Structure 1
Amino acid sequence: MSEVCVIGGTRFFGKLLVRRLLAEGHRVTVVNRGRTPDPFGAAVRRLRADVDLPGELAAAVAGERFDAVVHQMCYTPRAALEACEAFGERAGKLILTSSMEVYNADTFRWRIPAPPMSPFAREEELDAAEYAYDTELPWDDRAWLGANYGEGKRQAEAALTRHARVPVVLARVAHVLAAEDDFTGRLAFHVDRVRAGRPVIAHAAPGRTSLVLADDVAGFLAGAAVSEVTGTVNVASPDSVDVYDVCTAVQHATGRPATVIEKTDPSGHPDLSPFSCPSDFGLTTDRATSLGHRFTPAARWLPELAGKVAAGEGRG
């Protein structure tokens, strides 16, 4: 039995992570602001902190020791440094839930040109230990942070890697889809348009990208928390998809024809698919496979998930 701290854990795959850890018999402490109810009752301990406010996390976890900390709410280098200071050496490892967006060459702002990346990126193509971070950037500006999400995650990785006093796991996660509590609405976007008889807009000759099932993300994070895994790991289904694959799944789920219209410059179009890429952009999963983590192919789960969303199960 391990003592695991989950920062966040009240929505989307964070809830699935907590459920997985509890089901496996681990003791779980959840740290968040306490503003969102959770379904765990007395099964978890709760500590209150806003990880974006200096000193709050350190005060909340003072004197606590954990076998692992899974940080679901780390979007900036400031938050990463707060975690390093708060836990010090009182955690077996720190796990950062990061994003495939760290590989997106279009989102680099402070290192131009971006380092070369493969269309389906490998972990070693972006070394967090060699990437610069800047705590003086306007990270407190929510609009600015939202527009620089990929950069925030890159710099959070860099700060954590440099300053953590315990081993680190950087989980670079693909586009996550779920049948429960999927606040992103990305699959519902397609269901709504197909049902309404509206076309889905895509880039000309759209590229392929990586998806992952929320249950698989939770499974990886839970496994990383209680195993010897360290370092950077891409978390994604092993097969890629494009907007046509998504629309085909939705078409079968709804029984309505799906129309995709390609545009040379679809920027800003309200019907532009969130899974349309101007070129291939995704993840390789060779390292995860070598560590024994096998993610479910999207071809296996996407049609079933589209059916659940079409039936209204994914609107949480």
Structure 2
Amino acid sequence: MNVLILGGTGVISREIVAQLLSAGHEVVVFNRGTRKLPFSSDVEWIIGDKSDNQSFNEAVKKRTFDVVIDMISFNEADARSTVSTFNERAGQLIMCSSVAAYKRPYKSAPIKEDAEELFDNPEFAYAFQKAEMERYLQRNIGKGQLPVTIIRPSLTYGIGGSNLGVLRQNYNIVQRIRNNKPLLMFGDGTTPWGFTFAPDLAKAFVGAVGNKRTYNQAYHATNEDVHIWNNLYEEFGNIIGIEPQIVHISSELLVKANPSLFAHLVFEKSYSGLFDNSKIKRDIPGFEASISLNEGLRMMLNWYESEGSIVDPEKEQLENRLTDIYMEWSKQMEQFEA
């Protein structure tokens, strides 16, 4: 099939491109052209800026596609632009949303799509805007618009990503363990979670391509292995052979220290991240997120070391300050035991 990907170079979308090519699809990518893929010669590139509606329409107005996969819409206006552009020029639209779009607390455990409502608190803008995007798409389903498939990733790690760890500190995790420096964890670290990796998530998008069972449906696509957040750092420690030091500070206090960095902990990560994937397995036979936490973190470690990843100095300094405060507070608390 002839598939257009809006985006195509991100952590998830580069995996989608690779798997589409492996499946024999013709792939076109639309983006600003600032990053290239290792398989750039195997895809057609359209250079443009989707946020500029006029140039976006101009760039694709003479093209038709069997499927359009939109990885770069984050709000209702973005989705409106995609729908209006391809309503008569595509056979299917696959939209990347997020499990952040679910309202908390959840109504089901593990979480099922049809049991949940959409997020309605503007205070957490990312989740609210993704939910608004979905509300717009769902209002138009079945009203003469092109068929829409919505896929909601959970927290997903992969090559090129910068979102691993409580501070999204990536390689900082490895170097702190190796240097015997404490790592910061929110709460008590026992919130249940399923950690997903990009090659697995990409299977959902590729499996939905041209799949009529997925038309006008919404799915999450996640790893179903049961872990807790502490396991993320403990497994890195297992891989490099050093037991990590983990200190725990409440999410509420972390938000006070850095609202922009830690708000997601209160709105998202403080709730269980275990999802029931029965629906997507029903409609995309063979879908399975099979990369274990150990395998996925080994993939990330190999990337860090092969690419010569560096430590983020600002996040390193922040983690030092917060863990130092914790250690000092712990010493003061010991006085109550004396």
Q: Residue in 2 aligned with 1:124?
A: 114
Match of 1:182 among 161, 164, 185: 161
2:111–2:274 contact (8 Å) kept in structure 1: yes
Q: Residue in 2 aligned with 1:140?
A: none
TM-score with structure 2 setting the length: 0.76
Q: Residue in 2 aligned with 1:8?
A: 7
- CA-based RMSD: 3.0
Q: Residue in 2 aligned with 1:199?
A: 182
2:13–2:71 contact (8 Å) kept in structure 1: yes
Q: Residue in 2 aligned with 1:159?
A: 136
Paired residues for 1:67-82 under 5 Å = 67-82=66-81
Match of 1:262 among 230, 248, 264: 248
Aligned partners of 1:55, 1:163: CA distance in 2, in Å? 23
Q: Residue in 2 aligned with 1:59?
A: 58
SS across alignment from 2:254: coil
Higher relative contact order (CA 8 A, sep 6+): 1
2:209 pairs with 1:225: yes
Aligned partners of 1:161, 1:192: CA distance in 2, in Å? 45
The amino acid across from 1:288 in the alignment is I
The C-alpha deviation readout for 1:268-288, integer Å capped at 9, x for no partner, is 46898x889434234221112
Q: Which structure would you say has the larger Rg? A: 2
Aligned partners of 2:164, 2:271: CA distance in 1, in Å? 23
The amino acid across from 1:267 in the alignment is L
SS across alignment from 1:194: helix
Aligned partners of 1:205, 1:73: CA distance in 2, in Å? 31
Aligned partners of 1:53, 1:160: CA distance in 2, in Å? 21
Mark the CA change 1:75 to 1:263 in structure 2 (over 3 Å): closer, same or farther. Answer: same
Mark the CA change 1:15 to 1:52 in structure 2 (over 3 Å): closer, same or farther. Answer: same
What displacement does 1:73 show?
0.2
Aligned partners of 2:129, 2:117: CA distance in 1, in Å? 15
SS across alignment from 1:55: helix
The amino acid across from 2:148 in the alignment is V
2:224–2:274 contact (8 Å) kept in structure 1: no
Match of 2:270 among 258, 278, 294: 278
SS across alignment from 1:36: coil
Aligned partners of 1:204, 1:41: CA distance in 2, in Å? 44
Mark the CA change 1:195 to 1:36 in structure 2 (over 3 Å): closer, same or farther. Answer: same
Single out whichever of 180-189 and 65-74 deviates more from structure 2.
Answer: 180-189
Mark the CA change 1:189 to 1:206 in structure 2 (over 3 Å): closer, same or farther. Answer: farther
Q: Residue in 1 aligned with 2:42?
A: 43
Q: Residue in 2 aligned with 1:216?
A: 200
Aligned partners of 1:312, 1:119: CA distance in 2, in Å? 39
Aligned partners of 1:10, 1:89: CA distance in 2, in Å? 26
Paired residues for 1:137-148 under 5 Å = 148=125
- Aligned residue pairs: how many? 291
2:93–2:146 contact (8 Å) kept in structure 1: yes
Q: Residue in 1 aligned with 2:295?
A: 301
The amino acid across from 1:188 in the alignment is Y
The amino acid across from 2:194 in the alignment is S
Mark the CA change 1:90 to 1:233 in structure 2 (over 3 Å): closer, same or farther. Answer: same
Paired residues for 1:228-239 under 5 Å = 228=212, 229-230=214-215, 231-239=217-225
The amino acid across from 1:308 in the alignment is N
Aligned partners of 1:256, 1:132: CA distance in 2, in Å? 43
1:103–1:117 contact (8 Å) kept in structure 2: no
Structure 2 residues not aligned, in runs of 5+: 311-338
What displacement does 1:189 show?
4.2
The amino acid across from 2:108 in the alignment is S
TM-score with structure 1 setting the length: 0.80
The C-alpha deviation readout for 1:159-190, integer Å capped at 9, x for no partner, is 22333611111111011112x21233445343
Aligned partners of 1:191, 1:70: CA distance in 2, in Å? 34
* Matched-pair identity in %: 20
Paired residues for 1:8-27 under 5 Å = 8-27=7-26
The C-alpha deviation readout for 1:244-285, integer Å capped at 9, x for no partner, is 21122111122222122223444246898x889434234221
The amino acid across from 1:242 in the alignment is I
Aligned partners of 1:155, 1:193: CA distance in 2, in Å? 39
Q: Residue in 2 aligned with 1:289?
A: 281
